[in-house]
């Protein structure tokens, strides 16, 4: 079976804007799922509200499109009721870290057996282009017309601190690395977060001099630094530009997990 067999072809093309990176994330996820030999009837995709959360509608498995910020609560219920199911959550930076923030940290704390794929495009793309908890300082949104003055949530660091068993971050440019990270997350018992920095040319890009899709993809490529390199440079006292962000695997451990099949 090919990863393409997981798609509901009657629902294509997607509603995503031209150049949106979410389709790339779905492709990487289904490549990872298919490589593990999972079956449709044993797999459930869950999502909340937002551009990212439309993803399960294009996949053949059973799915839940839930309320804003609540996909992890629904996914926890599924896992406790049917621990034999593979549970994968698609979410966005606003859905996961703003209205869903408490659900996020407690799902990590409980180490619930699910894989969460966060499409982080630094903005509320579907509901009006508002600033989110990951909007970079100085960035323009509909709610920060003079530039965001707030600090930014580091979702990967938050998940590590809260107790997740596996945490990784890549971008829509790093397709091979992202696919491998998702597969690792799917194979790891307990809570796994794979954060994906991805482009939103419509809501974010056009307001921040990244209107062309290639502009954001090049930005993601040029501003990513491997976690190991970052740690080495800081240990040596060498400066790292503030606009760089770390990518790679942040943690993989074996804490007791909730919802793991006996």
Residue ranges of the domains in the chain?
Answer: 17-250
- % of the chain with per-residue pLDDT over 70: 100
pLDDT in tens, 16-26: 999 999 999 99
CB 84 within 8 A of CB 125: no
Mean pLDDT, residues 232-258: 94
Label residue 1 by pLDDT band (50, 70, 90). low
CATH superfamily, domain at 17-250:
Thiamin diphosphate (ThDP)-binding fold, Pyr/PP domains (3.40.50.970)
- % of the chain with per-residue pLDDT over 90: 89
Q: What contacts 81, CB < 8 A, 6 or more positions away?
A: none
pLDDT in tens, 162-172: 999 999 999 99
Rounded to two decimals, what is the model's pTM?
0.95
pLDDT surpassing 80 at residue 3: no
Mean pLDDT, residues 146-160: 95
Give the mean pLDDT of the chain: 94
pLDDT surpassing 90 at residue 261: no
Q: What CA–CA distances, in Å, run from 96 to 50, 122, 155?
A: 10, 12, 9
Mean pLDDT, residues 36-49: 95
Which of 56-70, 174-188, 235-249 is the most confident on average? 174-188
Label residue 211 by pLDDT band (50, 70, 90). confident
CB 194 within 8 A of CB 155: no
Lowest mean pLDDT among 7-21, 177-191, 214-228: 7-21
**Which phi and psi angles does 218 have, rounded to 5°?**
-65, -40
pLDDT surpassing 90 at residue 88: yes
pLDDT surpassing 90 at residue 259: no
């Amino acid at each position: 079976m090919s990863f393409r067999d997981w798609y509901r072809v009657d629902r294509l093309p997607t509603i995503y804007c031209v150049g949106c990176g979410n389709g790339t994330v779905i492709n990487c996820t289904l490549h990872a799922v298919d490589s593990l030999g999972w079956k449709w009837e044993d797999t459930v995709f869950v999502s909340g509200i937002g551009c990212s959360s439309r993803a399960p509608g294009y996949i053949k498995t059973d799915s839940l499109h839930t309320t804003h910020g609540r996909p992890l609560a629904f996914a926890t219920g599924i896992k406790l009721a049917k621990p034999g199911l593979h549970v994968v959550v698609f979410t966005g930076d606003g859905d996961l870290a703003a209205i869903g923030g408490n659900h996020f940290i407690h799902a990590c704390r409980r180490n619930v057996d699910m894989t969460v794929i966060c499409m982080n495009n630094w903005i509320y793309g579907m509901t009006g282009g508002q600033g989110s908890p990951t909007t970079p300082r100085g960035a323009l949104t509909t709610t920060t017309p003079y530039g965001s003055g707030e600090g930014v949530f580091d979702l990967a660091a938050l998940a590590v601190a809260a107790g997740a068993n596996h945490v990784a971050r890549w971008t829509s440019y790093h397709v091979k690395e992202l696919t491998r990270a998702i597969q690792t997350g799917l194979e790891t018992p307990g809570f796994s977060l794979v954060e994906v920095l991805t482009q939103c040319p419509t809501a974010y890009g056009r307001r921040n001099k990244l209107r062309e899709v290639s502009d954001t993809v090049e930005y993601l490529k040029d501003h990513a630094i491997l976690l190991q390199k970052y740690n080495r440079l800081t240990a040596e006292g060498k400066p790292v530009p503030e606009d760089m962000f770390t990518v790679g695997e942040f943690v993989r451990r074996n804490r007791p997990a909730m919802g793991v099949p006996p």
